[in-house]
Amino acid sequence: MVIGLIGAQNSHAAHFLKAINGEKLFDGVSVGFIYGGDDPATAARLTAEYGLKECPDEKTVIKNSDAVAITYRRGSLHHNAAMKVLCARKPVFIDKPFTSDEREAQEIVEYASRNGLLICGGSNTKGLRGVADVSEKIKPGDTVVISYCANPEDEYDGYWFYGIHSVEVCLELLGLNYNAVSAVCNGGTVVSTISYPDNTCVLITAPEVHSLDITVFDKNVGTHYPIELDYQSIGPCDLIDMVRSGKPPREYDFYAASVRLLNEIICQAGLSWS
């Protein structure tokens, strides 16, 4: 199986290469092609380090690969690339944020579902072992507080770039059926409240937070769970497992819901990006 990479600037491109070509975690799988128009210097370095063929455009990567990982930093670049892969009827991993536009996310999900195509991606934080462990502790009536880093003024599409991490952890823990959202921004700190029929989730993000922490409050008692950020191989594992099994790691509605929820938070908090 030959994997192609679209996007070089994001460190996640290097994570795919380290796991697949460097550590050789998957028998019979290699990354063979890369397009790095977002960062030609990094693309050239990765090409030399991992023995890749550098391609002049996205279409050449797609044509020569069995599956594709889109690892652009900007979610605003993901939709067009993803639709090219899907129109070629090939499996695709779409890095976080899945997109930076709700309609674009819905189009990807609907096209893949309608045509029986394989997609996965988003934030790797939702797949962390510690997150799965916390999900088993949550009961009806609990309040869940998630804190992690995110910068509303990030140069890569603002709050979309890192805000998606805590959003996807929230949805992984409590599901997609939230019924209300509120959010405020104070300086660089964004506090969001997501209400569910039986639970409440509070997201607290700030630019200089360097750990992912989850606290579950049962009435007046809070239990703190620091989450180990061992995420680098989760994306590659999701993509390879999906291709081999023919089954995506989660329902496609998850990806559309994550973009929809983050968009609601951005609107409620009065954030903007360009």
What pLDDT score does 194 carry? 98
The DSSP bridge pattern shows strands 180-186 and 92-95 to be unpaired
- Is residue 255, in this structure, part of any structural domain at all? no
Q: What is the largest CA-CA distance in the chain?
A: 58
CATH number at residue 115: 3.40.50.720
Return the beta strands (E) in 24-91 as ranges. Answer: 30-35, 53-54, 67-70
Mind listing the pLDDT tens digit for each residue in 74-90?
999 999 999 999 999 99
Same domain flag for 25 and 69: yes
Cβ-contact 32, 61 below 8 angstroms: no
For residue 166, give both structure tokens. Answer: 């805590």
Structurally, the chain folds into a number of domains equal to: 2
Same domain flag for 61 and 158: no
In the predicted model, what is the mean pLDDT of the chain?
Answer: 96
- Give 3-state DSSP helix, strand, coil % of the chain, rounded to 5: 40, 25, 35
CA count, 13 A, side-chain hemisphere, 129: 4
Same domain flag for 244 and 170: no
Domain that holds residue 138: 125-229+262-269
Flag whether pLDDT at 274 surpasses 70. Answer: no
What pLDDT score does 220 carry? 82
- Is residue 256, in this structure, part of any structural domain at all? no
Same domain flag for 240 and 113: yes
Rounded mean pLDDT, 112-134: 97
- Is residue 30, in this structure, part of any structural domain at all? yes
Entry pTM: 0.96
Of 221, 211, 224, 131, give the one whose Cα is nearest residue 174.
Answer: 131
106 pLDDT band, cuts 50/70/90, is very high
